[in-house]
Amino acid sequence: MTDRLTRTAATRLLAERLTREVVVANLGQATFDLQHLADRPLNCYTYGSMGQCSSIGLGIALARPDVRVICLDGDGSLLMNLGSLCTIAAEAPRNYALVVWDNEVHQTTGGQPTATGDRASLAAIALGAGIAKSVEVRTEDDLRTAYDRILGEDGPQVVCVKIAPGRSEGQLDRDILGHVRRFRSALATLPVSSRSV
Amino acid sequence: MGMGDPSWSKHVADVLRRNGIRVFATVPDYIVTQVLEHLWADPECRVVTVTREEEGVGLLSGAWLAGQRGALLMQNSGLGNSINALASLNVASQIPIVLVVSHRGDLGEFNPAQVPMGQATGALLDALGIRYIRPGAIAELETQGDGLIKLAYMRSLPVAIVLPAELTGGKQG
């Protein structure tokens, strides 16, 4: 599978289309790539609380229905908080999308296999939780189509992106408090849009 | 335990609401449901039922990042389910949240499985530096509740209102 998508390429494809969306990034690789490829005040990085990325994004989406919220989760982390999919389905925020970088391993801790490399399908689990717009994508063309939908259509949506394993290189900026203050301030000063997202 | 004054639950709901809290997450139990009844009936309040208390910690942290104050209503068993998120998200990132924790496993408890977590509740909160009150009567709740919540947002850290059976009447076995 030499032509498997990479997280870096998939992150870059999304980043070049962002305008006033909030992006919540999972601890580890998702935060790392977003910080390096597209650092911006409306990015909400996480550094701990494994599993909570999708829930943090849900809280933001419910509080700011005028802003589209995109979560970048990982397969290992979402597997730790599968109940979140049921809550997302029940609350059904139109401005919410969950993108899962699914490389079938716990990348940050050394590449130990997760259940998605065996039999589990996160897109199918999301569908079963009640999120009708749940897809799995493996190619760049399908990923572009999925991004069109999460940026242009009502949520909630789940996009499980099958990517190649691999760590990002370099140094992560762990100014946690600085990033929290910057994000909260950027969202507070983002004008409330009357336009439905 | 003996009978609590049944108006305790409205006092708890009112302390939360008059301090600007409008978004709530919960895994309900018999006791916090008495508070939830007031919040479910209030069109200004949003109550999200989550599947596990830790999820509520994440959700309410997101709400605060987006400018809203939130409270998590749960049993102390749920405090155990929330510990890592409270430590590595709320304490590490200085994100305030108000925990409303029914205290099972203490005076008068009938279920032995509740007792270990009940006896550990104060120590768990202390271990994370989470300031809490444990009002034994409505007057004590009214004296301390506003100040506790003000402290949470001034200090930008979690706080907890622990609800003992002396206040709520507990749950009869």
Residues of B in contact with A184 (CB under 8 A): 64-67
User: What pLDDT, on a 0 to 100 scale, did the predictor assign at position A196?
Assistant: 62
pLDDT value for A194: 79
The mean per-residue pLDDT over the stretch B40-69 comes to 98
> Would you say residue B1 has pLDDT above 60?
no
pLDDT score for A170? 77
A110 vs B131, higher pLDDT: B131
Task: State residue A5 phi and psi, 5-degree precision.
Answer: -60, 150
Cβ-Cβ contacts under 8 Å, A70 against chain B: none
A28 token code pair: 């580890």
* Alpha-carbon gap, residue B89 to A45, rounded angstroms: 11
Q: Are the CB atoms for A90 and A61 separated by under 8 Å?
A: no
Whether residue B55 lies within 8 A of chain A, CB to CB, comes out as: yes
pTM reported for the whole predicted model? 0.97
- Where residue B92 falls among pLDDT bands split at 50, 70, 90? very high
Q: Please list, residue by residue across B131-156, b when 16 or more beta carbons sit within 10 angstroms of its beta carbon and e when fewer do.
A: ebbbbeebeebeebbeebbeebbeeb
ipTM of the complex in this document: 0.96
pLDDT surpassing 70 at residue A68? yes
Q: Has residue A1 got a pLDDT over 70?
A: no
Instruction: Name the phi and psi angles at B24, rounded to 5.
Output: -130, 145
Q: Can you tell me whether residue B26 is helix, strand or coil?
A: strand
Q: Which amino acid is at A164?
A: A
Distance CA A182, CA B136 (A): 41
Percent of chain A with pLDDT over 70: 98
Instruction: Give yes or no for residue A129 having a pLDDT over 70.
Output: yes
Q: Write down the mean pLDDT value for chain B.
A: 96
Say what the pLDDT of residue A117 is: 95
Domain ranges for chain B:
1-7+29-69+82-108+117-133+150-167
Residues of chain B with pLDDT > 90: what percent?
95
Residues of A in contact with B87 (CB under 8 A): 48
Q: So what's the pLDDT on residue A168?
A: 86
Report the C-alpha gap between A5 and A162 in whole angstroms: 7
**Taking CB atoms and an 8 Å cut-off, how many pairs form between chains A and B?**
117
According to the 3-state scheme, what is the secondary structure of chain A? CCCCECHHHHHHHHHCCCCCCEEEECCCHHHHHHHHHHCCCCEEECCCCCCCHHHHHHHHHHHCCCCCEEEEEEHHHHHHCCHHHHHHHHHCCCCEEEEEEECCEECCCCCEECHHHCCCCHHHHHHHHCCCEEEEECCHHHHHHHHHHHHHCCCCEEEEEEECCCCCCCCCCCCHHHHHHHHHHHHHHCCCCCCCC
A7-189 classified as CATH 3.40.50.1100:
no
| Per-residue pLDDT, A63 | 98
Plot region of A101 (φ>0 → left; ψ -120 to 50 → alpha; else → beta): beta
Chain B residues 11-30 with CB within 8 Å of chain A: 23
Lowest-confidence range among A9-18, A170-179, B29-38, B48-57?
A170-179
Contact: B89, A49; criterion CB under 8 Å: yes
Helix (H) or strand (E) holding B22: strand B21-26
| B3 in reach of chain A (CB within 8 A) | no
Of A166-175, B16-25, B85-94, least confident by mean pLDDT is A166-175
- What integer best gives the mean pLDDT of chain A? 95
Domain boundaries defined on chain A: 7-189
Chain A (153-182) residues lying within 8 Å, Cβ to Cβ, of chain B: 176-177, 180
pLDDT above 90 (res B86): yes
pLDDT score of A177: 97
- B56 neighbourhood in chain A, CB within 8 Å: 55
Q: Give the A window 4-33 contacts with B, CB below 8 Å.
A: 24
Name the β-bridge partners of A133.
A157
* pLDDT mean over B101-108: 96
Task: Answer yes or no: do B62 and A86 touch at CB < 8 A.
Answer: no
- Burial of A118: CB neighbours in 10 Å, binned 0-12, 13-18, 19+: exposed
pLDDT, mean of residues A20-47: 97
Q: What is the pLDDT of residue A135?
A: 98
Chain A hits for B57, Cβ within 8 Å: 49, 52, 55
- pLDDT 10s digits, A75-99: 999 999 999 999 999 999 999 999 9
The average pLDDT across B87-110 equals 97
Angle at the Cα of B155 (from B149 to B139), degrees rounded to 5?
Answer: 25
Chain centroid to Cα B159, Å, comes to 8
pLDDT at B3: 61
Report which DSSP code applies to B155: H
- Summarize the confidence of residues A149-170 as an average pLDDT: 94
Residue B2 has pLDDT above 80, yes or no: no
Burial status of residue A46 (CB atoms within 10 A of its CB: 0-12, 13-18, 19 or more): buried
